[in-house]
Amino acid sequence: MSINKDQVEGRLDQAQGTAREVVGKAIGNKTLEAKGKFQKYAGAVRASIGDATHDIEKAVKKPR
């Protein structure tokens, strides 16, 4: 099973965003927390796009 760039980078952004959000919350920095949430959700969207692309490519390559 292969994975594509959007899947990898999306999940990486999710992890980084979660870390930023937690750090921002821990130190009381609302801006950092908000940026972390945005990065986390943007990463989730990108990973979903990558998942959809992967599913489409898999369906197209599948012999009938």
pLDDT along the chain (64 residues), means of 10: 89 98 98 98 97 91 72
What pLDDT is stored for residue 61 in this prediction? Answer: 85
Q: Structurally, how many domains does the chain consist of?
A: 1
The residues, ordered by sequence, that sit 6+ positions from 24 with a Cβ below 8 Å of its Cβ are 30, 31, 32, 33, 34, 35, 36
How is residue 26 written in tokens? 């821990």
Q: What is the pLDDT of residue 35?
A: 98
Gyration radius of the chain over CA positions: 15
Which structural domain range is residue 36 located in? 5-61
Which pLDDT score, from 0 to 100, does residue 64 have? 61
Residue 60 class from Cβ within 10 Å (0-12 exposed, 13-18 middle, 19+ buried)?
Answer: exposed
